[in-house]
Structure formats: structure tokens, C-alpha cells
């Protein structure tokens, strides 16, 4: 099989070929490492490439398979956003202040991935401390569908790596949409699990009450595989939910015919570019033919998402960074430093009011999910912005980050599981994402629906232009 075909296999197909001994883990690792050397100088998806360690781990996985050991992640190369602690390997958080930070232990989810046999190929680029802007030392990750466009923040490196065939899957983090936005912009499946489903122990925080971790993959099936490996209670994470995780993969091919879908009309209108709306509505039409019911839904208070999420992020981030900001302010980029200083001035009453209003938004989504199994809307109302373009929407005066979080931030505030899938493409060949939001701890349903939609589309196998 040509190297390009190997590199663009789904994670699930890679595992199948490993099971059948049609390819070795070492071959997969070497193919990806060669592609990284060719393409990443243009994409800037990786901060650290673990070439020698990846090949050695792949050899160990091949030896295990030769003994009859099996596993959906055994020997499969994946990447990690560079805020997951990795024992003996730099974890920079995309920040100058942590450029030489070498943890002594793995994050819980990294340990679980390794226990499942995954081969860690590298640490991916990200916005500085996941706070909306790249540090100049690390630079912006470019989108494989258009090198003049962003791959999204803050897990853009993970998204670009999977999109361009430089990893079979990757972990990202999501505080206001930082898994789902890059997934939408790069045409991937990006899953933000329920709050507390996957441990954040050993993960650099941005905002404790909003942070989630989850996978970016080429398909919903692949996302289910990674979720099943990392999910579960962890007493080391105070927010970890002591709720049994029923594996999502066994039900991924299940029937979706009886599902009830609620279409959030407001989010098909607000700031939505005409082509994005057109592609998303075409996807809805296809879903309508697959499920039992698609109706309009109108959860209240969604216009409050940005006013609510902003003081929470700013105050919680400022609390975490206060010691370093006081002693090493010059090591932060100007944008992040300014945001942290603003956060330090948030009055306690504003933070408390935001958390109270957050409850209103959560209650509205909960009420809607009593009538529907899944809520849907465009993951982002815009296509991937051109790098350096920070104003968008009709007036060209609205901040890109505000427009993005107005959609994806809902599920961070409420904690519900949310999956972005590839809905289609604009005439210019740019991906559009559709978000599926489900009931708490019911990742299986949104993954099953995402998988059904993906397997019903021919264009879902479309690849980005070759880079390098």
C-alpha cells in the first residue's frame, strides 16, 4: 500500500490492518514520521516530535501483537496537545515560560493511552496556555485545507496533524470550543466529552470549571475508540465524575432511526455565513432522512454565552497564573498578559453572577434534551479565518473568538457532551462542521449519529491538498 494511503487510513482501519498483520506498527510510525519531516515545516503542527521513542514503542507493540495481544489502540501512532504532561518529555503549553518544563509523570489520560498500547508520536502546537493566541516563540498552526488559514484554537496543532496525515488521532483540550472549532475548520470529528468524563489530572489548566479533554480524529468511530481508552473516574481530578463509562464503540453501528433531533434555529442565524448555513442545512436534510424526527428547538439565554463565559475564564485563568505573572510577566505574549491582568480585576460579584447565569443556560439545554435526544447547529458560523484576521461577521467588527465561543461555549458552560462532525464543504473547498449535543454522559448516542452520517456520505473521504 502506498505511503499516502497508509497515512490517511482511519485509526480503526489502521488497527484492523495491524490485527491482520498486513502492516506493522513500525511501518505506520515511520510513514508518519516521514510525512512530519516533509509537511510540518509548512503546517507547524508539532512542537516536539518523538521519533526515536515512537519507533521503539511501535516495536514493542509489534512484539505484543506477535504474542497474540490485541487492542484497538495497540501500536497505533497518535499525538498529544502540548499541555498533557508526559514523563521525561517537554510539556510547554505553547508558552515561553514552560519551554524547558519536563514533567516527572504522565497525565492520567496519557497513562491510559499508553496502557492501551498507543504509540505517542509527538506533542502538538497550541495557543499559549490555550488562551486564544499563539505565542510568537511557537507561531500559528496552518490549516491543511488552506495554508493561509488558521487550523483553529487552541488545539489547532492536533487538528492539523490528524487532518494532514501526520497522526491517526490526537488529544486536545476544550474550554470554549478548542476541540470542536479546530475539528470544524479542519474537517474532523472532535469530541468534547461530558464534564468529568475524562480526567484532567496532569493537564495544564485554563479554567477549572470549563476545561474538558477529548479526541480529534478522522471519524466518530475513531473518536469512540479513544474515548473508551481515556474515560473513567480519577480520584486525582477533583472534578472527575464517579459515573460508570459504558464503552461507546460497541453501539457505534446501532440504528439511529428512532432518534429525535432538535435544530437550534438561533444558531443557524447568528453571524452565520451564507455558505456555512447552506452546507449545514443540507446536512440537516440528510439527517432528516435518517432519523425519526427533526424539529426546531429554542433553548433560552443563548445570547448570554459570551457575557457569562468571559468572566469565568478570565478570573479562573488569572488565579492560576497569578504567581508567574507577578514574577515573569515578560515571558507571556502581550495578548495573554493583557487578558490575565484583566482577569485579575474581575469583581467577585461578576464571577458569582456569571456562575448563576450559567445555571440558567444549563437548565435551558437540559429542558430541550427532555424532548430531543440530540441538539444540532453549525459548530462554527464561519469557515476557518485567514491567519491574522481577528474581526468577522457582517459588520466586520465582531471579534472572531467571540463569534466562535458564542456557538461552542454553550456545551462548556453546561457540561453536556458535544461532537463536531464534517457537514460538508463550501464552494471554495473549506470544511463546515455540524455540532451534535447530547445528554450528560451519553456520548454513545452522538457518536452513533455522527458515525451514521459519516458513512452515508461519499465526500467524507475527501483529503486536503498535499503539503510538503
Let me know if 114 is a catalytic residue.
Answer: no
How much is the pLDDT for 458?
80
Residue 466 belongs to a domain: no
Please classify residue 92 by burial: count the beta carbons closer than 10 Å to its beta carbon, then call 0-12 exposed, 13-18 middle and 19+ buried: buried
Residues 6+ apart with CB under 8 A from 24: 18, 58, 62, 75
pLDDT > 90 fraction of the chain, expressed in percent and rounded: 93
What span, in angstroms and rounded, lies between the C-alpha atoms of 343 and 320? 11
In the predicted structure, residue 8 carries a pLDDT above the cut 50:
yes
DSSP string, 122-168: EEE--SGGGSSS--TTT-PPEETTEEEEE--TTTHHHHHHHHTTS-S
Span 366-375, average pLDDT: 98
Domain that holds residue 296: 3-461
Q: Which three-class secondary structure state does DSSP give residue 368?
A: helix
Instruction: Label residue 189 by pLDDT band (50, 70, 90).
Output: very high
Q: Which of 25, 155, 173, 178 is catalytic?
A: 178
How much is the pLDDT for 399?
75
Residue 250 belongs to a domain: yes
What span, in angstroms and rounded, lies between the C-alpha atoms of 196 and 230? 12
Residue 264 belongs to a domain: yes
Residue 468 belongs to a domain: no
Please classify residue 304 by burial: count the beta carbons closer than 10 Å to its beta carbon, then call 0-12 exposed, 13-18 middle and 19+ buried: middle
How much is the pLDDT for 48?
98
- The count of domains in the chain is 1
What span, in angstroms and rounded, lies between the C-alpha atoms of 35 and 463? 15
Q: Which residue has the cell 497522526?
A: 167
Helix/strand/coil (H, E, C) string of 269-338?
Answer: CCCCCHHHHHHHHHHHHHHHCCCCEEEEECCCCHHHHHHHHHHHHHHHHHHHHHHHHHHCHHHCCHHHHH
Q: What is the CATH number of the domain that holds 355?
A: 3.90.1300.10
Residue pair 346/314 in contact by the 8 Å Cβ criterion: yes
Residue 467 belongs to a domain: no
What span, in angstroms and rounded, lies between the C-alpha atoms of 237 and 42? 37
Residues 6+ apart with CB under 8 A from 452: 256, 290
Residue 455 belongs to a domain: yes
pLDDT tens sequence across 28-58: 999 999 999 999 999 999 999 999 999 999 9
In the predicted structure, residue 394 carries a pLDDT above the cut 80:
no
How much is the pLDDT for 459?
75
In the predicted structure, residue 396 carries a pLDDT above the cut 80:
no
How much is the pLDDT for 170?
99
Query: CA torsion angle for 267, 273, 278, 281 (degrees, to 10)?
Result: -10
How much is the pLDDT for 292?
78
Q: Which of 154, 181, 199, 219 is catalytic?
A: 154
In the predicted structure, residue 468 carries a pLDDT above the cut 90:
no
Q: Which range (104-108, 129-133, 239-243) has the least confidence?
A: 129-133
Q: Which of 24, 25, 81, 333 is catalytic?
A: 81
Span 138-159, average pLDDT: 97
Q: What is the DSSP letter of 210?
A: T
Residue 139 belongs to a domain: yes
pLDDT tens sequence across 295-334: 999 999 999 999 999 999 999 999 999 999 999 999 999 9
How much is the pLDDT for 327?
96
In the predicted structure, residue 208 carries a pLDDT above the cut 80:
yes
Residue 84 belongs to a domain: yes
What span, in angstroms and rounded, lies between the C-alpha atoms of 437 and 193? 10
How much is the pLDDT for 460?
79
Q: Report the Cα–Cα distance between both ends of the chain, in Å, rounded.
A: 20
Query: Which spans in 67-136 are helix H?
Result: 108-115
| Distance from the Cα of residue 258 to its chain's centroid | 28
Residue pair 239/434 in contact by the 8 Å Cβ criterion: no
In the predicted structure, residue 204 carries a pLDDT above the cut 50:
yes
Let me know if 81 is a catalytic residue.
Answer: yes
In the predicted structure, residue 90 carries a pLDDT above the cut 80:
yes
pLDDT tens sequence across 278-299: 999 999 999 999 997 899 999 9
In the predicted structure, residue 185 carries a pLDDT above the cut 90:
yes
Q: What is the DSSP letter of 459?
A: G
Q: What is the DSSP letter of 21?
A: T
Strand order in 418-425's β-sheet? 46-49, 119-124, 77-81, 169-174, 212-217, 189-192, 418-425, 431-438, 374-378, 260-264, 293-297
Give kind and range of the element (H or E) at residue 213.
strand 212-217
How much is the pLDDT for 393?
47
Let me know if 154 is a catalytic residue.
Answer: yes
Amino acid at each position: 500500500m502506498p505511503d499516502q494511503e497508509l497515512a490517511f487510513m482511519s485509526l480503526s482501519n489502521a488497527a484492523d490492518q495491524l490485527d491482520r498483520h498486513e502492516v506493522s506498527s513500525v511501518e505506520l510510525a515511520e510513514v508518519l514520521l516521514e510525512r512530519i519531516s516533509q509537511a510540518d515545516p509548512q503546517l507547524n503542527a508539532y512542537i516536539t516530535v518523538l521519533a526515536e521513542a515512537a519507533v521503539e514503542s511501535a516495536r514493542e507493540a509489534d512484539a505484543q501483537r506477535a504474542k497474540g495481544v490485541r487492542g484497538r489502540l495497540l501500536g497505533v501512532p497518535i499525538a498529544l496537545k502540548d499541555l498533557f504532561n508526559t514523563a521525561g518529555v517537554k510539556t510547554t503549553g505553547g508558552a515561553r515560560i514552560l519551554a524547558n518544563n519536563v514533567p516527572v509523570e504522565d497525565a492520567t489520560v496519557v497513562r491510559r493511552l499508553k496502557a492501551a498500547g498507543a504509540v505517542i508520536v509527538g506533542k502538538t502546537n497550541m495557543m499559549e496556555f490555550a488562551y486564544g493566541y499563539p505565542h510568537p516563540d511557537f507561531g500559528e498552526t496552518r490549516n491543511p485545507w488552506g495554508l493561509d488559514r488558521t487550523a483553529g484554537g487552541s488545539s489547532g496543532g492536533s487538528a492539523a496533524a490528524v487532518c494532514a496525515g501526520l497522526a491517526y488521532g490526537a488529544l486536545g483540550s476544550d474550554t470554549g470550543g478548542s476541540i470542536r472549532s479546530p475539528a470544524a475548520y479542519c474537517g474532523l470529528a472532535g469530541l468534547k466529552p461530558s464534564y468529568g468524563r475524562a480526567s484532567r489530572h496532569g493537564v495544564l489548566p485554563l479554567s477549572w470549571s470549563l476545561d474538558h479533554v477529548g479526541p480529534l480524529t478522522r471519524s466518530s468511530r475513531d473518536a469512540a475508540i479513544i474515548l473508551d481508552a481515556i474515560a473513567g473516574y480519577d480520584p486525582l481530578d477533583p472534578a472527575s465524575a464517579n459515573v460508570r463509562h459504558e464503552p461507546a464503540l460497541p453501539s457505534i453501528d446501532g440504528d439511529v432511526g428512532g432518534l429525535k433531533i432538535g435544530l437550534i434555529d438561533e444558531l443557524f442565524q447568528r453571524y452565520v455565513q451564507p455558505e456555512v448555513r447552506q452546507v449545514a442545512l443540507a446536512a440537516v436534510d440528510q439527517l432528516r432522512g435518517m432519523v425519526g424526527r427533526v424539529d426546531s428547538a429554542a433553548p433560552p439565554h443563548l445570547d448570554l454565552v459570551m457575557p457569562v463565559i468571559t468572566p469565568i475564564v478570565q478570573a479562573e485563568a488569572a488565579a492560576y497564573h497569578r504567581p508567574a505573572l507577578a514574577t515573569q510577566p515578560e515571558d507571556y505574549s502581550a495578548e495573554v498578559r493583557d487578558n490575565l491582568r484583566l482577569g485579575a480585576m474581575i469583581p467577585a460579584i461578576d464571577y458569582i453572577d456569571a456562575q448563576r447565569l450559567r445555571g440558567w443556560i444549563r437548565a435551558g439545554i437540559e429542558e430541550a434534551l427532555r424532548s430531543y435526544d440530540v441538539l444540532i447547529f453549525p459548530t462554527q458560523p464561519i469557515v476557518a479565518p485567514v491567519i491574522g484576521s481577528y474581526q468577522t461577521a457582517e459588520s466586520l467588527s465582531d471579534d472572531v473568538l467571540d463569534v466562535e465561543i458564542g456557538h461552542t461555549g454553550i456545551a462548556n458552560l453546561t457540561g453536556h457532551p458535544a461532537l463536531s462532525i464534517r457537514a460538508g464543504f463550501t464552494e471554495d473547498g473549506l470544511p463546515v462542521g455540524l455540532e451534535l449535543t447530547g445528554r450528560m454522559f451519553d456520548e454513545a448516542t452522538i457518536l452513533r449519529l455522527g458515525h451514521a452520517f459519516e458513512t452515508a456520505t461519499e465526500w467524507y473521504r475527501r483529503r486536503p491538498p498535499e503539503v510538503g
